[in-house]
Amino acid sequence: MNDPVILVVEDDSAVRNMIAAALETQSYAYCLAETGGKAIEKAASQKPAIMLLDLGLPDMDGSEVITHVRGWSGMPIIVISARNEDSEKVRALDAGADDYLTKPFSVDELLARLRSTLRRLQYMKTADAEDERRFQNGGLLIDYDSGCVYLDDRELHLTPIEYKLLCLLAKNVGKVLAHTYITREIWGTAWDNDVASLRVFMATLRKKIETDTTNPRYIQTHVGVGYRMLRIE
């Protein structure tokens, strides 16, 4: 099989060159696009495995690129945001992005994010072939048939909402989920007070699945943005 190709979409040549140089050090195959239009074209023609997408593009907003691409591709999209604005990230995640990097970011950060995304792709391939009635991550096991959850072989007693929340995070393991996305999936709405309720349910869920809630292993908080279940190696 061919090496996975990474599509880099960035109009700022200095940042683009920095990313290209970083990818070269790891011998990753990549292709470049400077505009949203070109990004959509290359996403279709080059069949990249991952897209690294700057949100501020000259011809369109990065979120529009995501909406286009999501019409026909589930490839992981890591958004690069110059704006430290949470609303931008949330919009991109809502449109279907998987993860984000905030400028300025280091080469190490970029490569770590790519490695975890590549691992997730690998996992998704093997998981497809496996039995989808169970979800295993570290010591956490969800048995979808019985609706039982175990942590280190001990059964947990979750409320229906906590269970729904855990299943949603598990289904999207490795992906950052925006508050609005989660509340829509759980309650069918996205009001501000749902975000407050979400925080409460998340706190009780964490008490049950995390041994140390101040240093969570399974569920990561993205302040002002959302939550992600981490894949435990």
Q: How far is the CB of 13 from Ca ion (least distance, A)?
A: 10
Q: How far is the CB of 34 from Ca ion (least distance, A)?
A: 9
Q: How far is the CB of 58 from Ca ion (least distance, A)?
A: 8
Structure-block tokens of residue 146: 């019985």
Residue 83 or 115 with smaller CB distance to Ca ion: 83
Residue 19 or 142 with smaller CB distance to Ca ion: 19
Q: How far is the CB of 59 from Ca ion (least distance, A)?
A: 11
Q: 178 pairs with which residues across the strands?
A: 226
Chain residues in the site for Ca ion (CB under 5 A):
11, 54, 56
| Whole-number Å distance between alpha carbons of 56 and 15 | 13
Q: How far is the CB of 11 from Ca ion (least distance, A)?
A: 5
CA 178 to chain centre: 10
Residue 56 or 96 with smaller CB distance to Ca ion: 56
Give the Cα-Cα-Cα angle 19, 21, 23 (nearest 5 degrees): 70
Q: How far is the CB of 49 from Ca ion (least distance, A)?
A: 23
Residue 37 or 56 with smaller CB distance to Ca ion: 56
Residue 54 or 99 with smaller CB distance to Ca ion: 54
Helices (H) and strands (E) in the chain, counts: 8, 12
Amino acid in the structure at residue 98:
D
Closest C-alpha to 97, from 139, 133, 61: 61
Collapsed DSSP state (helix, strand, coil) of residue 186:
helix
Residue 60 or 127 with smaller CB distance to Ca ion: 60
Q: Which residue is nearest to Ca ion (CB)?
A: 56
Count CA atoms closer than 13 A to 44's CA, side-chain side: 11
| Whole-number Å distance between alpha carbons of 97 and 216 | 23
